[in-house]
Chain A
Amino acid sequence: MLSAVLAAGALLVPSAGAATAGDGTNSAFAISGKGLLAIAPTPSVNDKEGFSQESLAVLTVPGGLGTVKALNAQAGAGQAQASVADVAVTLGPGAPLLSASAIEADCKDGKATSSVAKAKIGTVPLDVAVPPNTGIEVPGLASVMLNKQVKHSDGSVTVTAISISVDGVQKLDIASATCAPGDDNGGGGSETPSTTPATSTSNSGGGSGSGDSALPNGKAPTPKPVKAHLDVTG
């Protein structure tokens, strides 16, 4: 399966394209590599055809450099998410080992977060959650950025949980999610990336019209079909 993915070839990066939801802005991938070790974004989804989610049980990194498990990517209106588990990848010949029990990136209505669990690069342990764009020094690597957040001109934001440059040429991104700004986030695009999501308990659901609340008489609502794609068992 991986070979098919790799053969498909093109190293796509989530675009900072146009603004409206449903144009592919909301997007995510679990892992991507550029350089000699090329890994097409896998799995890679966007919201062009509605809500999309894909998973892959195991990805074997070419060259016997390791494995990543439980790869997951999902994207839909105003939100995107990517995660991986049980990561053990050697970052190239003579380079340190990246290991983690879980890595995830989450983006919702323009607000981005990421976290890692039991993560280490070589002997350097990684904090569970760090402020956006926290660079860390790791011997043998050109750069390591945790919770990398890039705000695009259309107001969308891309969060990548771990972004590694091995030597300036070889790059590896793990758990990356891009989402459009929310329709109703009050400030219409705050300048400062938030490190914690808002504490409001009432999420923007749009009331009973979106089928996420009981009807006034307490009965369960009739669902509104949502544009999406899922291969069920025919």
Chain B
Amino acid sequence: MHKTALSRARNLAAITGVAILVSLTGACSSGEDSAAPAVTPAAISQEDLTQLPEATTFATVSGAPSDPQPAAGATAGKVLHPKQELVVYASVGGKPIAKLPEIQMGSPTWVPVVAQQDDWAQILLPTRPNASSGWVHVTDGAAETAQNDYAVHVDRASFTLEILQAGKQVGKWTIGTGKEQHPTPAGRAYIIASIEETKNTYSPIVLPLSYHSDSLETFGGGPGTVGLHTWPDTSFVGKANSDGCIRVTEDALDQLVKLPLGTIVNIT
């Protein structure tokens, strides 16, 4: 009975595109003469999968490596969408730390790729702690990748937000940021979803970021996610008076909603 459950577990693990596929690849490549064999992830049981946290804005992942280049700035680059749930590892061939679902708050998951090694991609995670990253093993069909030309730079000191296309500024606005006791956190965040908000009325569209407030563990019913959104009046412009979010004018929001998910929002 236990054996049955285990073999079923292995089947499930295979569906996530990790264990079985990979061990097959390993077996095949052993017959080849290629110098350094590609690193493949260790098999993972369904029981281990069940215990992994799902990498969403609600989760905290422990053992995740930090963004390797947190000061890289507002960088454009490759983004990745998992077409099935992917296991996230602490390093190439390392320990599993999370599972990356296909959707985030109803939007398709797109994460920035910040490094690559063979079939492995290092991605930024939408979880706590801020600047968490992890490695996914991307075999054929497991994920979609795309080139994102855009990036956003937020300068808290000057209350400005710029949109960059291929490194060139295509828009700049004055914004509002978090008040002294609830500052907007600095770092290389990214846009995780595009929400047509159905309850809160302050902004028709809310763009939640991968980063979280350092001073608010929860906010409302949410996990303290920092967002990009507009505000019903202009009281925020050039001021630090939000609870951590970046408030922008409608004009800015109209442009920000066009940016691909996974776009870096670099906050200094």
- Residues of chain A touching chain B, judged by Cβ–Cβ distance below 8 Å, are 49-51, 53-55, 70, 72, 76-77, 79, 83, 85, 101-104, 113, 115-118, 127-130, 195-197, 199, 201-203, 205, 210-215, 218-234
Contacts and interface: CB of A to CB of B under 8 A. Distances in A.
Contacts of B187: none
A212 B196 contact: no
A89 to B, nearest CB: 18
A201 B15 CA distance: 8
B198 A212 contact: no
A233 B142 CA distance: 33
Contacts of B51: 85, 101-102, 117-118
A232 B5 contact: no
Nearest to B108: A212
A226 B193 CA distance: 8
A67 B268 CA distance: 40
Contacts of A127: 1-2, 4-5
16 contacts: A53-B58, A72-B54, A128-B9, A218-B147, A219-B148, A219-B149, A220-B146, A222-B259, A223-B107, A223-B108, A226-B195, A228-B107, A230-B195, A230-B197, A231-B222, A233-B178
Interface in B121-166: 141-142, 144-149
A1 B253 CA distance: 34
Given A113-B12, A115-B50, A222-B258, A228 B5 contact: no
B208 A232 contact: yes
Nearest to B103: A76
Contacts of B193: 223, 226, 228, 230
Contacts of A49: 198-199
A201 B12 contact: no
Nearest to A55: B58
Nearest to A161: B50
Given A214-B146, A220-B79, A220-B148, A233 B196 contact: no
Contacts of A205: 83, 108
Given A70-B53, A196-B12, A225 B205 contact: yes
A212 B194 CA distance: 13
Q: Chain B, interface size: which category?
A: 35 or more
List 3 tightest A-B contacts by C-beta distance, closest first: A231-B220, A51-B106, A232-B227
A169 B107 CA distance: 41
A226 B194 contact: yes
A19 to B, nearest CB: 20
Nearest to A116: B50
A169 to B, nearest CB: 30
B221 interface: yes
A212 B144 contact: yes
Interface string B106-122: 11101000000000000
A5 to B, nearest CB: 12
Contacts of A222: 258-260
Given A128-B45, A197-B15, A234-B242, A223 B261 contact: yes
A234 B105 contact: no
B88 interface: no
Contacts of A102: 50-51
Given A219-B260, A230-B105, A233-B182, 5 more contacts: A49-B198, A103-B50, A129-B46, A203-B84, A228-B107
A50 B242 contact: no
Interface string B160-197: 00000000000000000010001000000000011111
B266 interface: no
Nearest to A50: B198
B197 A228 contact: yes
Contacts of A129: 5, 8-9, 12, 46
